[in-house]
Amino acid sequence: MNLIWRVAVTRDEPQAGPLGSALRESGFNPVMCVVMDEHRPANATALVNAAASLEQFDWVIVSSARAVAALAGARATRWPRAVRTAAVGARTAEALVAAGADPAPLVGAGEGADALWTALSALEWTNRRVLVPTVPGGRRVLAEALRAAGAIVTEVEAYRMAPRPPERIRADWHAARPDAAVIASPSVASTLVEALGPGGLSALKAVVAIGPTTAATLAAAGVPHHVAPRADFHEAARTLAALRDTALPGP
């Protein structure tokens, strides 16, 4: 009997993306069921203007490689030297370096925004000019913490995510045949529940939410779930692995 759980990756990432890689490391078989697609920001001019004026900022703090690509793509010249950068996760840091960021980005000990803020909080932020690319519906932990620390924060929408048609979500879900799922955002949770019905998720062996707002969305829909202790893909994979190991029969 095959005891390797098939785990739905519901975020829009490549086959070797960060969540899929974390799941493989924990002994799962990640299967793709993308819920949201990337689209241009509602105000593309604002993104172009922010990208063109990166030199005016002391820091650019980015939460995803997708946001780095949006900024770099909107800029007509090379990434300016000497502008400090910080990244949520190693992949985002690699994207910044590839875009030309120098010096190297500051990265937190984990993949989530909370881990990055732990590293950033030791610095002086009073009157520092900081650009934070955002996505509608995303967490605003960094922007809010920076403002509270005295930084002058400019937020600009880098891209937006929109739900895929429900029939396409359902088709991919049935083709994927997942045993479990990791849900990484409230918008993905609500879109997936709407497409499948709460019973579609409740029938799984386990559902792991990344972050309290995602967990709250699942709870409101009546979906049984567990919450990763940190907003981190590897932590979510480890949480799911513990549930799997508890559920599997002994030797």
* pLDDT tens digits, 176-212: 999 999 998 888 999 999 999 888 999 999 999 988 8
pLDDT digits 0-9 by tens, 41-83: 999 999 999 999 999 999 999 998 889 999 999 998 989 988 9
Tell me the Cα Rg of the chain: 19
pLDDT digits 0-9 by tens, 86-123: 998 888 899 999 999 999 999 987 767 888 999 999 99
Instruction: Kindly state the DSSP code that residue 59 receives in the 8-state scheme.
Output: E
* Res. 250 pLDDT band, cuts 50 70 90: very low
Q: Provide the pLDDT for residue 111.
A: 65
Instruction: Enter the tokens of residue 68.
Output: 């780095």
pTM of the model: 0.73
Token match 């403002």: residue? Answer: 147
Q: Which residues of the chain form CATH 3.40.50.10090?
A: 6-35+164-247, 39-160
Domain 39-160 grouped into CATH 3.40.47.10: no
Q: Provide the pLDDT for residue 172.
A: 95
Please answer whether residues 62 and 68 qualify as being in contact, where contact means their C-beta atoms are separated by less than 8 angstroms. Answer: yes
Instruction: Enter the tokens of residue 93.
Output: 């840091």
Fold for 6-35+164-247, please state it: Rossmann fold (3.40.50)
CA-based torsion, 117, 123, 126, 130: positive or negative = negative
